[in-house]
Structure 1
Amino acid sequence: MAGVALLVALLPLGYLMLRAGQAGGERIAAELLTARVARLAALSVGLAAVVTAACTVLGVATAFLVTRTDLPAARVFAVLAALPLAVPTYIAAFAWMSSVDGFTGFWASALVLTLCCYPYTFLPVAAALHRADPAQEEVARSLGRHPWRTFRSVTLPQLRPAIAGGALLVALYVLSDFGAVALLRTDTFTRAVFTAFELGFDRTGALVLATVLVVLTTVLLAAESTTRRRGARYSPVGAGARRPHTRVPLGRWRWPAAALLAGVSALALGVPALNLSRRLAAGVSRPGSLAEIATAAGNSLSVSAAGAALTLLLALPIGLLAARAPGPVASTVERLSYLTHALPGVVIGLSLVFFGVHVAYPLYQTRWLLTLAYAALFLPLAVAAVGAAATQAPPVLDDVARSLGRSPLRAFASVTAPLVAPGLAAGTALVFLTCMKELPATLLLRPTGMDTLATELWTHTGVAAYAAAAPYAALLVALSAVPAWFLAARSGALGPRGAAGYHAAPPTSAPPTSAPPTSAPPTSAPPTSASAAVTGDDLPAPTARPGGAR
């Protein structure tokens, strides 16, 4: 079964290599060894670097403020920090373009992508902070270290895997994004690939350009793997991480910090909301619009649900293999499933068109082929969810159940399934969310006459019918907000505050006059593990890439 899932994941890459290889060495060299490709590479890598750095700073700061300080309305800010996941980049770009004159170019794209992508860093870091064992921080404070110095020297190293994973998500998203860069006229590889295919009818040239994205993805995955291995020892996971954390008093910076987060939320959510609200009434009042909107919403929900279900089914064997049988084979299988996920959605769509026409013709022009495309696009998200959930159910528990006479199936159903179910639900929600927003592959593969919220929105925007596009955009954001809120809840950012889950830090950094009391862990608590990256209660591990509006 893991082999079948891997074949689905590598199908776009196989198609890419086949068609690029048919072009011949001379054509490949002619396409790649040009000043234009060098400029595209510089812009693509530069945009990914700027957005990744900005999202890392913003995501880590927001996660720390809402989980470890006495920030006012911390739960509200935690939800607001996750909700930009529900805003496709093409909707955000359209809202900013129509609100600010001359809003195009590199820095415009960087701003929009940062505001849409920083939740990919915020969520895993918030999860890591929620689950991190506070014992080391307590020891540092008992020795007289200031809370901020404790954060830099003790807490931050524990966050390294989560930060690296979130940064990888953002970088891969930026490399594959199409909606924002197309609307804001930023020449990246994804825009060049789409232009070569749609306007120049140069499919071979487009696919040769896309091979550069595979190379960049390989480099990013190798860098993230190295960082994760180095940081794994800082990442305990288990019951021992459930002790209360100490809140850091912000003092006079309490309200300025709240104002800063409110400003970020206003830019990320307020600008699209205001823009859509201005046009919403006119769009809904069009004759027949309500029926069209309802049909598109039903199509989006049905194909996204099918895509999420198939993706999770294919991810189960890979995720369980990586979590329960770690080694070179499992690591290779897991990494291969990520390789194609910096490719533009148009390349994924073309590969599935080729597959449907030449290999599985009965699937061509059906919802099943579109569902298969979603599985190929978003398999790493589900693989990460399965792997993270499997770490919550060590194999020894199954062994104990079987030693007591239960069959393997009954042991899995009664012991493992209840432990992994919440994590799988979180992964399914994330895949469903990204399926709802996916655009290029949906445009290419949807059956004739079937429209989704994303395709209708793009169609109306393409002919400048902004009022007609507004209802589709608003409903898409509203439906996507539900799984985004669920992910925020699973990350632990909405965990208990006050006496239930936190206690206040001492008002001064002076060491206590007597040694702090020691507390032995409960005898029933399992030992913590230092081999898994921190991923939150049931949040998917932060090493997969988002799909979304590509």
Structure 2
Amino acid sequence: MTSTNTSSTVDADRRTATGQGIRPRPSRALLALGALATATALLSLLPLAYVIGATAETGWGTAAELIFRPRVGELLVNTLLLVACTVPLCIVIGVGGAWLVERTQLAGARWWSLALAAPLAIPAFVNSYGWVSVVPSLGGLHAGVLIATLSYFPLVYIPVAATLTRLDPALEESAAALGLGPWAVFRRVVLPQLRLAISGGSLLVGLHLLAEYGAFAMIQFDTFTTAIMSQYQSTFNGVAGSMLAGVLVLLCFLMLWLEARTRGRARLSRIGSGSQALPPRARLHRFQAPAQLALVAVTVLAFVLPVSFVLRWAFAGRPGTWVADDLLTALAQTLGYASAGAVVTVILAFPLAFLAVRHSTVFSRFLELSNYVTSSMPGIVVGLAFVTISIRVVPDLYQSAAVLITAYSLLFLPRALVSLRSGLAQAPPELEEAAQTLGWHPAMAFVRVTLRLSAPAAAGGAALVFLAVVNELTATLLLAPNGTRTLATAFWSKSSEINYTGAAPYALLMIVLSMPMTYILFRQSRKVAGQ
């Protein structure tokens, strides 16, 4: 009897030590990471709380008067038409370009794969500046669709091209063996497997359309974002601006819901590595020349012409256009804010990524997903939220660098979060445990193993955040301290004065700084695809 009790006690202790039965108490380090992640999640929900609070404070009667009026209806029609026209065009160009590059015997396919991603390096407001400087009469819905499509179709092209490279060709070969033609194989086999990439890319295009300010303000095409900014700059009417921001947030959530519905629940993954054969490439024959001409047209309109417009103005102006002090000041402040934003964002993202990978629970998933709420909101809404909160709660921080960097971090945190999750997944906890068995202190094992293995992913995420901050305009206009002059705000100041020659150097520097981001994004998509 005594032997049995002793055995049971030993077994219970063993189960506790191995994680069975009673769970061990979390360590202080894990509790600290949980507290930091919770604080970040709460901070990220402030813009949403601002919109809800502003609506409640206004009262339903006043809010209804401000929302259900002809001006809001006009903005809603403009915005919905913009999205309805631009997103399908981006899908057609993105999917068509990806299929030509990845699945046909297209001459110069590798070169075209980079050329079709290159337009993403040009900020949309710089693209608009290039076109308006040559065609001053450009304006209205058709101009907005043109500029938005040329600026954002790579957001569909890049994920679709990456997906095409990793599809199992055995499925297409089986479909062809059953007698389906090339078009039927693409429509019934390939296209359903691209649904996730198309819906995700379309969501990004839609959210960018809702958030964009500079590109549409320059062609005088009114959307919710341009109206909110005009309201803020002219009368600082917080009530009217807040109601417009509330409608804009509802549109963002509607897009998220539509993307989730479009994505569906069908299982599109496979078990195992699948066939190692290269995917089949269709012969273009007489369509080789039309395909080349179509890609040339897209590349020229989306990249070559805007860059040539910028170069033309940059080197056609007076020598005083390239004023070293002004350019160096703007470049230095841009690099400073971008570096600080990248570092702070990675620091805030690390606890969330660590809990999501190492301690996945319902709560940790909630903390992670809450950060996508703010990132889906336009910068104008986040900027208004921080303006209002800082004035009412901490007036000493109004228009301070701390508030601006915090807004950057919340806007671009998912860029670092996704990269960090990938890096931490490649650093399994067993490696830390092995290091500890060799006598290393747990903290030293964490630093020497986990942090070291996840450092490249953290650097990649920081680079993406860095270059996103370089091109950020609306939140910077609202929150930047007095005297701040980044490349984006300096460019906007010059272009708003119709000083195209003065704005060109700042636009050129932004393009030069954005090229690495485009290449990093392109290479990351290829890495995921196993290329």
TM range, normalised to the smaller chain?
Answer: 0.7 to 0.9
For 1:522, the equivalent position in structure 2 comes to: none
For 1:169, the equivalent position in structure 2 comes to: 204
- Quick check: 1:221 aligned with 2:252? no
Partner AA of 1:42 in structure 2: V
Shifted more, 455-464 versus 348-357: the winner is 348-357
- Quick check: 1:151 aligned with 2:186? yes
- Quick check: 1:269 aligned with 2:303? yes
For 1:191, the equivalent position in structure 2 comes to: 226
Residue aligned with 1:318, SS? helix
- Quick check: 1:102 aligned with 2:137? yes
- The Cα of 1:348 is off from its aligned counterpart by 1.9
CA contact (8 A) 1:124 1:536 kept: no
Choose which of 89, 96, 111 in structure 2 pairs with 1:61: 96
For 2:511, the equivalent position in structure 1 comes to: 477
Choose which of 288, 294, 297 in structure 2 pairs with 1:260: 294
For 2:86, the equivalent position in structure 1 comes to: 51
Q: Partners of 1:240 and 1:42 in 2: how far apart?
A: 47
- The Cα of 1:101 is off from its aligned counterpart by 4.5
Note closer, same or farther for the CA distance 1:21–1:438 as it changes in structure 2 (3 Å cut): same
- The Cα of 1:305 is off from its aligned counterpart by 2.1
Q: Partners of 1:389 and 1:144 in 2: how far apart?
A: 44
- Quick check: 1:279 aligned with 2:310? no
- The Cα of 1:417 is off from its aligned counterpart by 5.4
- The Cα of 1:104 is off from its aligned counterpart by 0.1
- Quick check: 1:486 aligned with 2:510? no
Note closer, same or farther for the CA distance 1:365–1:427 as it changes in structure 2 (3 Å cut): same
For 2:7, the equivalent position in structure 1 comes to: none
- Quick check: 1:428 aligned with 2:471? no
**How far does the alpha carbon of each residue in 1:258-295 deviate from its partner, in whole angstroms, 9 at most, with x for none?**
22111111111122122112211244710771221122
Note closer, same or farther for the CA distance 1:159–1:413 as it changes in structure 2 (3 Å cut): farther
Partner AA of 1:151 in structure 2: F
- Quick check: 1:385 aligned with 2:416? no
More helix by percentage: 2
Note closer, same or farther for the CA distance 1:340–1:490 as it changes in structure 2 (3 Å cut): closer
Partner AA of 2:327 in structure 1: I
- The Cα of 1:487 is off from its aligned counterpart by 1.5
Quote the sequence identity (%). Answer: 37
**How far does the alpha carbon of each residue in 1:74-97 deviate from its partner, in whole angstroms, 9 at most, with x for none?**
222222222222211111112111
- Quick check: 1:398 aligned with 2:429? yes
Shifted more, 54-63 versus 319-328: the winner is 319-328
Q: Partners of 1:360 and 1:52 in 2: how far apart?
A: 40
Larger radius of gyration between Structure 1 and Structure 2: 2
Partner AA of 2:209 in structure 1: V
Q: Partners of 1:536 and 1:308 in 2: how far apart?
A: 26
Question: 1:324-335 to 2 correspondence within 5 Å?
Answer: 328-335=362-369
Residue aligned with 2:280, SS? strand
For 1:180, the equivalent position in structure 2 comes to: 215
Question: 1:107-506 to 2 correspondence within 5 Å?
Answer: 107-231=142-266, 233-236=267-270, 244-283=278-317, 285-286=319-320, 289-322=323-356, 328-360=362-394, 363-389=397-423, 393=426, 397-399=428-430, 402=433, 405=437, 420-492=454-526
- The Cα of 1:177 is off from its aligned counterpart by 0.9
CA contact (8 A) 2:432 2:450 kept: no
For 1:13, the equivalent position in structure 2 comes to: 48
**How many residues matched?**
493
Q: Partners of 1:419 and 1:346 in 2: how far apart?
A: 37
CA contact (8 A) 2:432 2:445 kept: yes
Note closer, same or farther for the CA distance 1:75–1:288 as it changes in structure 2 (3 Å cut): closer
Partner AA of 2:58 in structure 1: A
Q: Partners of 1:202 and 1:370 in 2: how far apart?
A: 21
CA contact (8 A) 1:296 1:451 kept: yes
Q: Partners of 1:44 and 1:55 in 2: how far apart?
A: 16
Residue aligned with 1:234, SS? coil
- The Cα of 1:537 is off from its aligned counterpart by 5.4
Note closer, same or farther for the CA distance 1:129–1:409 as it changes in structure 2 (3 Å cut): farther
**How far does the alpha carbon of each residue in 1:207-262 deviate from its partner, in whole angstroms, 9 at most, with x for none?**
1111011112222222323444524x213498558653333322222232122111
Note closer, same or farther for the CA distance 1:297–1:204 as it changes in structure 2 (3 Å cut): same
CA contact (8 A) 2:338 2:469 kept: yes
- The Cα of 1:316 is off from its aligned counterpart by 2.8
Residue aligned with 1:78, SS? helix
- The Cα of 1:168 is off from its aligned counterpart by 0.6
Structure 1 unmatched ranges of 5 or more: 496-534, 539-550
Residue aligned with 1:249, SS? coil
CA contact (8 A) 2:54 2:242 kept: yes
For 1:75, the equivalent position in structure 2 comes to: 110
For 2:70, the equivalent position in structure 1 comes to: 35
Partner AA of 2:41 in structure 1: L
CA contact (8 A) 2:78 2:223 kept: yes
**How far does the alpha carbon of each residue in 1:454-503 deviate from its partner, in whole angstroms, 9 at most, with x for none?**
011001111111111111111111111121122112222xx8xxxxxxxx
- The Cα of 1:425 is off from its aligned counterpart by 4.1
Note closer, same or farther for the CA distance 1:456–1:337 as it changes in structure 2 (3 Å cut): same
Q: Partners of 1:63 and 1:471 in 2: how far apart?
A: 33
Note closer, same or farther for the CA distance 1:121–1:321 as it changes in structure 2 (3 Å cut): farther
Note closer, same or farther for the CA distance 1:536–1:274 as it changes in structure 2 (3 Å cut): same
Q: Partners of 2:119 and 2:383 in 1: how far apart?
A: 26
- The Cα of 1:64 is off from its aligned counterpart by 2.0
Q: Partners of 2:286 and 2:354 in 1: how far apart?
A: 48
Q: TM (normalized to structure 1)? A: 0.82
